[in-house]
Amino acid sequence: MVFGQVVIGPPGSGKTTYCNGMSQFLKLIGRKVAVVNLDPANDALPYECSVNIEDLVKLSDVMAEHSLGPNGGLAYCMDYLEKNIDWLQDKLKPLLKDHYLLFDFPGQVELFFLHSNAKKVIMKLIKKLNLQLTALHLVDAHLCSDPGKYISALFLSLSTMLHLELPHLNVLSKIDLIESYGKLAFNLDFYTDVQDLSYLQYHLDQDPRSAKYRRLTKELCEVIENFSLVNFTTLDIQDKESVGNLVKLIDKSNGYIFAGIEASAVEFSKIAVGPVDWDYYRVAAVQEKYMKDDEDME
């Protein structure tokens, strides 16, 4: 059985930065990692890519040939990938023996709570390649500073969880920047644990833009609370302890810790007692230098 992560989330939530940082961290604790880019709009990859969807289909070509916008083009690309899933399976097979997989998906949220193509791609890979995957849904922490946007993020998270039907973790990314967005109405625990959302009603009522949607917002909050499924963990991709804690949650979610108890124990001991040589900016800078050197040689 092969383990990995499906990295999803709205545009700007930090998916590519996450894949870059997470792949570096996992390598430092002894795992062989392969990053699979399935975002045809991502043409500036900061990480070493083992499989790239652009070798199969390019968003710019799709938009030009079919007169589509970015959203329509991305939906077409996912549909094309599903119909050519054998190409992706053949690319992944050499990695299955000893690699941990990170799938970097597009930021178009409709692909994960409305359309079925991305889900079909994931399910076919799980079934045919015996993958054990956890969905990582990244949400920018700045949304916590706006009650309306925060409730929208909750509803998006819930819809995505129910649609994908995968082991699932919701993550507030860029948590190190949350104070720069303004003072939160409540402690951070309120937003991560998704406590009584009625407390947000007062703050929503202060915004004249939200007044006419008051009843709709109340009903949406009740839907979220009735399912009792949504909560968040936090992430600062530059912080070793934050990344390490998230790795532990992911490994529990997809069963990695049960597949190799001894190996997991050794890895977690590296995280716990360190020192793991984790300097995100230094590692990223070195990697960028090597990529630039390779381009110059070509």
- DSSP-assigned beta bridge partners for residue 84: none
pLDDT in tens, 11-51: 989 999 999 999 999 999 999 999 999 999 887 889 999 99
Range in 68-82, 197-211, 240-254 the model is least confident about: 197-211
Q: Report the pLDDT averaged over residues 140-146.
A: 91
% of the chain exceeding 90 in pLDDT: 61
Output the pLDDT for position 264. 55
What whole-number distance in Å separates Cα of residue 282 and Cα of residue 96? 30
Q: What is the mean pLDDT of the chain?
A: 86
40 to 15, 58, 83, 124, 285: CA distances (angstroms): 14, 6, 16, 20, 24
Query: pTM for this structure?
Result: 0.87
Cβ-contact 153, 1 below 8 angstroms: no
